[in-house]
């Protein structure tokens, strides 16, 4: 029997750590929180100094029983939830529930799940940090007070689903951005570009108009000054063209400037979420889910289960000295000594609310390069790990050295400017060549405007001062200033972080909540407020302006940090908040008017308009004449009316009647048209290709994963557990020998859409056949 019990949060983490510690240790998982505030009442005794009334979660009762039995039998118990406030609170709750003597219970923490880190943690246990626990309790009680008091009011007045201290501020930011976009007044402006070349050369380059009549030409979005000008109309642009049409274009100045491009710091939670969104198209929630698997451990063949990255909920860019030494040794051996900086890089952050308890997000070992362990990772794991590994290694490398050559070309009162930048020493860019500052928005067009005025990346021929150039073409281009971009998930996280709202552990949950509550919807990867979201926001801003205020929320985060630092008493902080909040709540209950959110639908029974309403099952349309008219129309997940049953060509296998296409919780499905018959089955989208398993006999059909991603699998899965499944569509015809079979092993071919070019490949993972497409292939 094991002598020691280690309790972690996740079963997967438990599995990895168990293999490290061996048979003397029994590693079990609490599967997250085991105790919390009750779900069906406030659970906070406001009159008794805001005492929280915790209870064991019903679904966790069997787990708690198991943990108690294991703890009673163990000589020592090590509590090892995540190394943050939430993890500290879970450890404290476990210690309270297990009711063990203090000398038997130990708190351990580790920033990475590797053998060295786990063994070091076991050797240096500590007591539970009550300051961290109090900070988490204060946040939990504060969120419960705000949510539990405001949410019922929203239900009564606007059919809103809920309010939250952080989520409501996020919705406000999105609504205010949408209002800015709707009220934006676009301004016209023009740019002029000359296409030039040397007199006897075919190599042309583009030079935008830089100055005219001694004034610098700027875009309408730039701030004007005394020595600047905006070309605000086609007439003004043509006037300049006419003035210089007969002028000679001569090189008036040539300059060269050397510069360095420094690497970005290693990732913190928010920058990882932004970069994964920009580079990989991942939603914030997906990024954290994939990162969690990399942190908790992946089976690496003979090496066993290994944690590949450090803890992924952090706002610190600090790197352990030992990790820096390993990285520099790897860089020197693989790339050369010149790629190591003169001294190790140190990254610090100036934000006030940074907690430096954890390191930045980095690989646990540089030796585990992405390519060397690719075979053990899923596609998503590989992409995210590659991003983390490359960003960290680059952060420890030398700067890139650049040379920028700029030519100014005069033509009368006009000066055109062309620049070209070349890399003299690649430095860190040989590993990670993404923009130094992560792009955050898919729709930010200000950069495009600036590009119009300053010129594009190009090569510049060798020029001489005073040299006359050949004008190949010159033309004006019309532009309009663009409204501020809508928030993407990534840019919203960036703003929340910059404003000091929330913590690394809350960003993903905040975004998920406001989408799930139907306050915000995703449109082309941007976040757009719904009618419900706008209505709720208007009410909250009008009646709870202090609660949904950015400054207030930031100040509360700082007070939570002060509780953690033992500078503020958490009970006192709650008392200070609650008294004015109670008064505001009372006024809102008296003065808040009921808001009806009208839809575009007419009531089929009485002809009046239908309103968007909410229930615990989701949104629906209800007649505004209720209770006189009780007509209701269910809505799909997309917010459109549920379609009526439609005929299909399928027959019921039970009674032979026609099957109907019916909409359900997960979309369309087939149901028997006879009321007394209960047969239902999914709608299969056939590809025309049979399952490659000879003994199966099923068809390959198009399916959707639980997360909505399309894949292709066998139709016989539910009947004989055939597990044939592919992320890419099967080839129907046009492959080698006009077949859809692999010429090497005879298995089904699939059509892969890749960045480096589409190809057809064998669906058998053990076969290496793959070739570029010819254009003759047809696929599902």
Catalytic residues: 311
As a whole number of angstroms, the distance between CA 778 and CA 688 comes to 11
- d(C-alpha 8, C-alpha 644), whole Å: 49
Three-state SS string over 179-231 comes to HHHHCCCCCEEEEEEEEEEECCCCCEEEEEEEEECCEEECCCCCCCCCCEECC
| Residue 555 DSSP SS3 | helix
Cα dist from 100 to 33, 85, 108, 227, 774, whole Å: 19, 22, 16, 76, 70
| Residue 699: closest CA among 716, 721, 680, 682 | 716
Can you tell me the distance from the alpha carbon of 340 to that of 596, in angstroms, rounded to the nearest whole number?
63
Distance CA 738, CA 375 (A): 31
H or E element at residue 36: strand 35-36
Q: Which single residue is written with the structure tokens 């020592």?
A: 76
77 with 5: CB under 8 angstroms? yes
Residues constituting the chain: 780
Bridge-partner residues for 193, per DSSP? 208, 475
Cross-strand pairs, 612: 621
Separation CA 630–CA 605 (nearest Å): 9
Identify the DSSP state of 337. Answer: G
Query: Who's near 435: CB < 8 A, 6+ residues apart?
Result: none
Residue 249 near residue 486 (C-beta atoms within 8 A): no
Euclidean distance between CA atoms 272 and 494, whole angstroms: 11
């Amino acid at each position: 029997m094991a002598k020691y019990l280690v309790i972690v949060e996740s079963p997967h983490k438990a599995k990895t750590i168990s293999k490290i510690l061996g048979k003397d240790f029994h590693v079990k998982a609490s599967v997250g929180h085991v105790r919390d505030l009750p779900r069906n009442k406030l659970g906070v005794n406001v009159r008794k100094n805001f005492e929280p009334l915790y209870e064991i979660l019903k679904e966790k009762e069997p787990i708690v029983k198991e943990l108690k039995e294991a703890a009673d039998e163990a000589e020592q118990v090590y509590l090892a939830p995540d190394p943050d406030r939430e993890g500290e609170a879970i450890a404290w709750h476990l210690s309270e529930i297990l009711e063990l003597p203090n000398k038997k219970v130990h708190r351990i923490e580790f920033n990475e799940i590797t053998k060295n880190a786990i063994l070091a943690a076991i050797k240096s246990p500590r007591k539970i940090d009550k300051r961290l626990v109090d900070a988490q309790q204060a946040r939990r009680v504060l969120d419960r007070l705000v949510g539990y008091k405001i949410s019922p009011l929203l239900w009564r007045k606007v059919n809103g689903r809920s309010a939250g201290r952080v989520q409501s501020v996020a919705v406000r930011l999105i609504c205010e951005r949408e209002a800015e976009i709707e009220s934006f007044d676009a301004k016209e402006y023009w740019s002029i570009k000359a296409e030039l070349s040397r007199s006897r050369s075919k190599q042309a380059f583009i030079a935008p108009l830089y100055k005219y009549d001694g004034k610098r030409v700027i875009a309408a979005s730039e701030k004007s000054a005394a020595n600047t000008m905006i070309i605000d109309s086609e007439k003004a642009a043509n006037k300049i063209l006419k003035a210089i049409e007969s002028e000679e274009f001569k090189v008036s100045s040539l300059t060269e400037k050397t510069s360095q491009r420094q690497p970005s710091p290693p990732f913190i939670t928010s920058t990882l979420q932004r970069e994964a969104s920009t580079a990989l198209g991942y939603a914030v929630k997906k990024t954290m889910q994939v990162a969690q698997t990399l942190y908790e451990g992946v089976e690496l063949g003979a090496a066993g289960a290994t944690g590949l990255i450090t803890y992924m909920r952090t706002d610190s860019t600090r790197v352990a000295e030992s990790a820096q030494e390993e990285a520099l040794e790897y860089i020197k051996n693989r790339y050369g000594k010149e790629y190591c900086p003169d001294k190790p890089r140190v990254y610090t952050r100036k934000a006030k609310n940074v907690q430096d308890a954890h390191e930045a997000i980095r690989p646990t070992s540089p030796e585990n390069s992405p390519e060397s362990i690719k075979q053990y990772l899923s596609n998503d794991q590989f992409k995210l790990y590659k991003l983390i590994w490359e960003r960290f290694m680059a952060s420890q490398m030398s700067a890139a050295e650049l040379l920028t050559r700029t030519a100014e070309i005069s033509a009368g009162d006009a000066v055109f400017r062309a620049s070209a930048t070349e890399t003299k020493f690649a430095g860190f860019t040989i590993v990670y060549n993404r923009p130094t500052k992560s792009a955050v928005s898919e729709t930010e067009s200000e950069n495009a405007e600036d590009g119009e005025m300053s010129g594009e990346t190009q090569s510049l021929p060798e020029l001489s001062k005073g040299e006359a150039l050949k004008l190949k073409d010159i033309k004006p281009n019309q532009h309009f200033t663009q409204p501020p971009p809508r928030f993407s998930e990534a840019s919203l996280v960036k703003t929340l972080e910059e404003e000091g709202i929330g913590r690394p552990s809350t960003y993903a949950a905040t975004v998920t909540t406001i989408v799930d509550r139907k306050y915000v919807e995703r449109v082309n990867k941007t976040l757009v407020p719904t009618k419900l979201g706008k209505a709720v926001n208007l009410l909250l801003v009008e009646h709870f302006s202090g609660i949904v205020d950015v400054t207030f929320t930031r100040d509360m985060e700082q007070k939570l940090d002060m509780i953690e630092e033992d500078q503020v008493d958490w009970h006192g902080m709650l008392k200070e908040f609650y008294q004015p909040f109670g008064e505001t709540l009372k006024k809102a209950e008296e003065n808040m008017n009921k808001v009806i959110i009208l839809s575009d639908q007419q009531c089929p029974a009485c002809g009046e308009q239908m309103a968007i309403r909410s229930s615990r099952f989701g949104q629906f349309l209800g007649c505004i004449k209720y209770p006189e008219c009780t007509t209701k129309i269910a809505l799909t997940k997309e917010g459109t009316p549920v379609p009526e049953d439609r005929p299909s060509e399928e027959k019921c296998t039970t009674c032979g009647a026609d099957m109907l296409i019916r909409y359900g919780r997960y979309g369309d499905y087939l149901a028997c048209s006879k009321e007394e018959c209960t047969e239902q089955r999914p709608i299969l989208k056939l590809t025309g290709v049979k399952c490659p398993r000879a003994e199966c006999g099923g068809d390959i059909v198009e399916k959707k994963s639980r997360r909505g991603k399309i894949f292709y699998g066998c139709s016989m899965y539910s009947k004989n557990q055939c597990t044939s499944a592919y992320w890419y569509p099967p080839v129907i015809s046009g492959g080698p020998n006009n077949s859809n079979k692999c010429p090497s092993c005879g298995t089904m071919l699939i059509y892969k859409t890749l960045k480096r070019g589409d190809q057809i490949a064998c669906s058998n993972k053990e076969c290496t056949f793959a070739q570029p497409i010819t254009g003759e292939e047809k696929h599902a």
